[in-house]
Chains A and B, each alone.
Chain A
Amino acid sequence: MHEMSIAEGIVQVLEDQAKAQCYTRVKTVWLEIGPLAMIETEALSFCFEAVTRDTLAEGAVLNIIKIKGEAFCMQCLKNVPITERYDSCVDCGSYQLQVVQGDEMRIKELEVE
């Protein structure tokens, strides 16, 4: 449900940046989203289309770059891949993991006019 707030947050950043970067229309938005960012990307795309109506990003294409999840295993002392918070280490099975990558939720790049 909070995808709507997130989509509104994106539009807000686009509008704030419009002044600083001197553009009046956004054609494409590239987002980086990790598997642990609590974002359902399909819901976000749906909300983005709804909230961009009558804004400088109306009709903009939303591209989502999926980042891989990674955690540091305290037992193996190395980074291992994860896709969920409750995953165990793929090598040793331990749950003593510290997430190092995968909760990103950022606007990376824009195509603007």
Chain B
Amino acid sequence: MCTVCGCSEGDVKIEGPAHEHAHPHADESEQMIVQQGDDLDFGQGPAHAHVAGMSQSRMVQIEQDILGKNDRYAGLNRARFEAQSIFALNLVSSPGSGKTTLLTETIQQIKGDRHVAVIEGDQQTANDAERIRETGVPAIQVNTGKGCHLDAHMVGHALDNLTAFQGGILFIENVGNLVCPAAFDLGEAHKVAILSVTEGEDKPLKYPDMFYAADLMVLNKTDLLPYLDFDVDKCIAYAKQVNPSIEVIQLSAKSGEGMAVWVEWLEHKRQAMIKQRIDALETEINQFKALL
């Protein structure tokens, strides 16, 4: 990440018009984000400070989390979601699990009831964002260049490019990768791990960090089960071994089987988030009332 604002080094690009940063930078003369047509390029500008001069060596205790900076940006995103009552999900999986198809099918079912927007993460191309836009909802593509995951800072910039959609649902489709995205909080309400039945039932054991970080595992492509040796019960047992509280939904985005359960889960969790917010606000109001 750069020394100025946490932008990753490399070739990160975010679609959308030129915009003001929603968060301040220490020194705008070292602006890291370069407009290229409709895209933003994170890869420019100085990344390191060159320092000369020496003195006596000494020890310094700093006790600082390495991911602290990402977590601070994630906190800012979370505060924005809370202020606008946006229900944000971080969809993680290996490449080819059917995330984008699951999204386009989900959007077709819920877009009549609720505002939906999508942030698409891929190393290159805007293909997925285009597939989402064909459903009629706004999508912002983030190209991470050489990066293997989205970080909270990229998502913050992508949010700047989305018009406000109070009370809506934001899907963040992470880069297809079952390793790195587990470590980076984006400010989402839940991480959802999507596993397709063509992948092998022991993936939760092979990539335990991701299934530990996820609150829900979606088992996708169940229409293919008759042609495979995939053991669903074993897969769920492995996932629960890594994360005893993980929920599981089996579905096929293609045939539509199980989609109703998933859509119901979305609405249930969205309402739970809103209710939690109402409770917190009521507690705050009562604290103020007590002061009268």
Contact = CB atoms under 8 A, between A and B. Distances in A.
B239 to A, nearest CB: 10
Contact of B179 (A17, A38, A108): A38
Interface string A88-113: 10000001110000000111111111
A17 B1 contact: no
A67 B241 CA distance: 23
A23 B151 CA distance: 29
Contact of B62 (A8, A38, A96, A109): A109
A17 B59 CA distance: 13
Given A109-B60, A110-B60, A55 B54 contact: no
Contacts of A23: 55, 58, 60
The 5 closest A-B pairs by CB, nearest first: A2-B180, A85-B208, A1-B148, A56-B51, A110-B60
Nearest to B182: A38
B147 interface: yes
Interface in A1-16: 1-2, 5-6, 8-13, 15-16
Main secondary structure of the interface of A (DSSP, over half): mixed
Contacts of A107: 62-64, 66
Contact size range, B:
35 or more
Contacts of B228: none
Interface string B46-57: 001111111111
Given A17-B62, A106-B64, A24 B55 contact: yes
A14 B239 CA distance: 38
Interface of A: 1-2, 5-6, 8-13, 15-18, 21, 23-25, 27, 31, 36, 38, 54-56, 84-86, 88, 95-97, 105-113
Contact of B3 (A2, A15, A86): A15
A5 B208 contact: no
9 contacts: A2-B148, A5-B180, A13-B62, A18-B51, A23-B58, A55-B51, A105-B65, A106-B64, A112-B60
B9 to A, nearest CB: 6
A13 B63 CA distance: 11
Contact of A95 (B6, B64, B177, B244): B244
B56 to A, nearest CB: 7
Contact of B53 (A6, A24, A86): A24
Given A85-B212, A108-B62, A2 B48 contact: no
Contacts of B177: 1
B49 A55 contact: yes
Most buried by B among A86, A105, A107: A86
B184 to A, nearest CB: 8
A56 B2 CA distance: 14
Nearest to A44: B66
Nearest to B48: A55
A15 B2 CA distance: 11
Interface string B250-279: 000000000000000000000000000000
Contact of A112 (B57, B241, B243): B57
Contacts of B70: 9
A15 B180 contact: no
Q: Among the interface residues B55, B62, B64, which one has the most CB atoms of the partner chain A within 10 A?
A: B62
Given A2-B149, A84-B208, A12 B1 contact: yes
A56 B52 CA distance: 8
Contact of B59 (A2, A10, A24, A111): A111
Contact of B209 (A12, A27, A38, A96): A38
Interface in B159-186: 177, 179-180, 182-184
A23 B49 CA distance: 13
A27 B60 CA distance: 11
Given A24-B52, A85-B212, A110-B59, A1 B179 contact: yes
